[in-house]
Structure 1
């Protein structure tokens, strides 16, 4: 790889004779730029709300604000770095200054993907890009091939999950500088690890977003979202808005040498235009990045199979895959017995276990009892690689009041069983950081807001759980960790000195089986499998392998033995729990088999 810079049409770009600043402020007749704390310099107003100025004495390292109405100083929405957080000045960055060492990197095929989701701030005690490098050998040795990093776009304060970002081009300074992030990617590539980043294009955080002040056209009242007015990607003046996000995606891929992106909650991107932003994004990225496999993954509550279609040669047409919440839900219900809120439909309809494992989406157009709304599209025709399967992730742990991991709310036998299912499923497996360590530290919701906003977040967090029986008592809700307290953040850090070597060895062994025994079969599994329920929580799934043979899963995800007539291979790919017999499946047993 040789690319070092993505040529942004806005923001600060180094020129031979200074720095060119371009700023979209259609709500402002006049804009100035204040460089290094000096007197504001008038910018030239152009067409369609653009303002620009070439500043000869500006250079890499210069800091600047734009000055808008009433003398308000605002950061650059395309800032590459914010050394003094979201309200401070932006810093001019030289994208070519980092000396990349990954010239021979050509990426990894999606079929090889074993994803590890991590949060930079809690992955290590130091919580930085540079500190994460020291743990990459652990991940490579484990059998991980892709690290997926939760959002790093600049957020207010020193701690946040990342979904309150307001400056999408600037890695948060609490993690390090842009070159530190590049060093992490470089080091990952040196160890054969691909790197993906979670990006948020459906909303901006509640503190530090100045766009409504000088570019109200960026938002629209025609669309509503959980965060207020929707982002205007389909109305008048929407072209600069669409370009803002498209260039952000290109920027991360090209300038930081990332191998892919995970797009947060795309169901909240409301677009009534003839060509949805998601389609333009995928087409543009795939057209401009052809030197390595590009992994584009969706989080989409609507379960739209249309975005996951394959071309005639089996390659992703638009998006590589989608996070498969349905697989998580059926496995979680089986392991824990929980049946409230969004788990209720999966507890009430046991057959969804087989459907999610075999075909991807559990709901394929039917109405969900929980919401009463139709959800999903037919997905059995898609290859399993169009789905990312997991038993835990940041949402499903962190959205619990106490941030418990699965191992804290389910038996060890149950955790091993559901993990043996998803880790060898033909879908792409994803671990959440610490899962492989036997971590007992929680992953809690945390942020670093101040004043009235902090109080609203604190109160809202506790009110959110008032409808759950376990937290119906106000005194019990008071025990929910304060999301604004530093102690909550610190409690969420992985404790690398408290590793369970038995758990770690188990994950290493099962991922070796995936790599050595399952991977050769995956290209031949071109569509969903056939599922047959063998009990309330027992299932048999068969996937046909092109060229001959079949991959079979026999799983009893319950605490009771299931009787029946089972075809049991004498040499399984993997046996978890007591060995299956021809006439019964023992409790919490999982058997993977391949018959040529």
Structure 2
């Protein structure tokens, strides 16, 4: 099944395989000092079968000049420049073999950064909190091995090897195993659009891995037209799902891949390899809003349109990419709730059309969020919404997030109103550190606040240890009354979602959405088990007219609404009314 990497065989030997089409010789070096030459084969492959135990440490010698790790290393002994290690995934004894996952419409996703929690074992200790909260899926930010001891996750260079500073492969398996015992799905965020700037040696021996003539923000584009390259990433996806029993993958920034054929192949191979009784989910991040992929193998897409519209309404920010949502944001929010995407082919601020029609897709084809690693970490100071938005408006938006039929995603600490920043952090040195620091600061040049070089110097240095330490969430939220209030608020909403809405979410369909006034909308959905769900949301500073709900409608949840408001047919400022109307 795996063509790349070191694979233990049934006869006790290990098969080493490296695709190195731009070199003439490959040798295997073991940590004990022995050296073994790989046999060249067709299409640039070099292969060796060797009596070699699991956990043996090895690296490759290229053309008798360069020593490199295995690009498909399952574990690094230390850092990404050193020895790889043979790993036998069959050695782990799974405790919960009867776990088959959960259907997608039950997903309530919690995104966290393993390094900020301290590693796999510390995340495992956090699982009871997630279950008590009402979360059903834990999404781990990228695990791929990276240069240094800390990284926000999107600079991995060895995608098959969990970062050694997080723990061992078996400690990750134990985390997944324990999550399944709690009824939690586990997703992994994977990055297939680029490699990080330090520790990727593919260019030395596999130049054909890249399109040298096609540039991306991260360097030469990956050539997905080559079967060996497609296999590399498809096998990575299968490794997470089969060797670690991960329940789903979130594919980062697939708009930078620019090869729908590869994406469809990946989805097809995943579906074919996973037993029919298992629930496995594939989720995209895609600025292109390519709705056709959500009809062809992928379960859902992160709905940046929904986030960006809500962010404009909550904060008033309208610079950079928020400018695309600053005009008629209330109408855009209604479009999002009714049809999924806001941009379905319209021109963005650069005059380029973006997106495809999405109104036929079910609400659960869209993952909605108020915060995530991008939308917090890509801010100059990493501020969370608890510091940016009016508290009542933020709570009203949270009701929409957790009770609408889209799949909700929470970002670590959001549930207790965490105010610690989430900064962009790395662990580079010398010239690379300088380049990353200055590059990061220059990303904000289009914001008026950072229009000159002096103001950009106030942005934290990603390589400073303080940037990492300041980003660690407070893991003792029950100490402060305000945090306890936030926790109770989230817990109560998720209980309503689980007990009253979940049975009908799989077949939920939009019945339309309308603008009630400035920053106020009314959206309706027909749930699969019959009733109509209505959410009337007002994020504005003034009351708006609200048509009287049907006499048969049950008030499922209210925030900042009194009986007198409903008698007067008004929706107060920063309030929300959620009703369920039974089938007539």
Question: Partners in 2 of 1:549 and 1:51 — Cα distance?
Answer: 61
Pick from 518, 521, 524 the counterpart of residue 501 of structure 2: 518
User: What residue in structure 2 maps to residue 254 of structure 1?
Assistant: 242
**Mapped partners of 2:559, 2:550: distance in 1:** 14
| Alignment partner, residue 278 of structure 1 | 263
**Structure number having the greater helix percentage:** 2
Q: How does 1:371-410 map to 2 (within 5 A)?
A: 371-410=350-389
Within the alignment, does 1:575 sit opposite 2:569 as a pair?
no
* Partner deviation per Cα, 1:179-198 (whole Å, 9 max, x = no partner): 01101000100000000000
CA positional deviation for 1:440? 1.3
Answer yes or no: is 1:112 the counterpart of 2:70: no
How far off is 1:291 after superposition? Answer: 3.2
SS at match of 2:449: helix
Is 1:153 aligned with 2:144? yes
Alignment of 1:373-522 (within 5 A): 373-499=352-478, 500-522=483-505
Once residues 507 and 407 of structure 2 are traced to their aligned partners in structure 1, the CA distance between those partners, rounded to angstroms, is: 15
- Tell me which moved more, 257-266 or 374-383: 374-383
Aligned equivalents of 2:335, 2:533: Cα separation in 1:
16
Q: In 1, are the aligned partners of 2:19 and 2:45 still within 8 Å (CA)? A: yes
Q: Over residues 313-345 of structure 1, what are the superposed CA-to-partner deviations in whole Å (9 max), with x where a residue is unaligned? A: xxxx41010000011011111111111111122
Distance 1:24 1:342 in 2: 40
TM-score w.r.t. length of structure 2: 0.95
Indicate whether 1:25 and 2:16 are aligned. Answer: no
Q: 1:186 aligns with which of 177, 181, 188?
A: 177
Match of 1:287 in 2: 272
Contact 1:323 1:387 in 2 (8 A): yes
Distance 1:477 1:565, change over 3 A: same
1:297 corresponds in structure 2 to: 283
| Cα shift readout 1:72-94 (whole Å, capped 9, x = no counterpart) | 10000110001211100101112
Q: Deviations over 1:267-320 (max 9, x none)?
A: 11122xxx71010111110111123111100000000110112xxxxxxx4101
Find the aligned partners of 2:505 and 2:298 in 1 and give their Cα distance.
18
- Give the aligned partner of residue 206 of structure 1: 197
Aligned partners of 2:424 and 2:246: how far apart in 1? 27
CA distance in 1, matches of 2:96, 2:12: 31
Residue from 515, 518, 527 that aligns with 1:533: 515
Structure 2 gap ranges (5+)? none
2:230 match: 242
Closer, same or farther: CA 366–29 of 1 in aligned 2, 3 Å = same
Secondary structure at 2:214 match in 1: strand
**Structure 1 unmatched runs, 5+:** 1-6, 310-316
Partner of residue 223, structure 1: 214
The answer on 1:168 being equivalent to 2:168 is no
Q: Report the counterpart of residue 4 of structure 1 in structure 2.
A: none
Alpha-carbon offset, residue 479 of structure 1: 2.0
**CA drift at 1:388:** 0.3
- Contact in 2 for aligned 1:242/1:277 (Cα 8 Å): yes
Aligned counterpart, 1:95: 89
The size of the alignment, in residue pairs, is: 571
- C-alpha root-mean-square deviation of aligned residues, in Å? 1.5
> Structure 1 residue 54 and structure 2 residue 49: aligned?
yes
Do the aligned partners of residues 342 and 28 (structure 1) sit closer, same or farther apart at CA in structure 2, a change above 3 Å counting?
A: same
Q: Is the 8 A contact 2:519 2:538 kept in 1?
A: yes
Structure 2 Cα separation of the partners of residues 473 and 457 of structure 1: 18
Distance of 1:17 and 1:103 partners within structure 2 = 25
Residue 335 in structure 1 maps to residue 338 in structure 2: no
Contact 1:95–1:255 (8 Å) recurs in 2: yes
In structure 2, do the counterparts of structure 1 residues 213 and 427 end up closer, same or farther at CA, with 3 Å as the change threshold? same
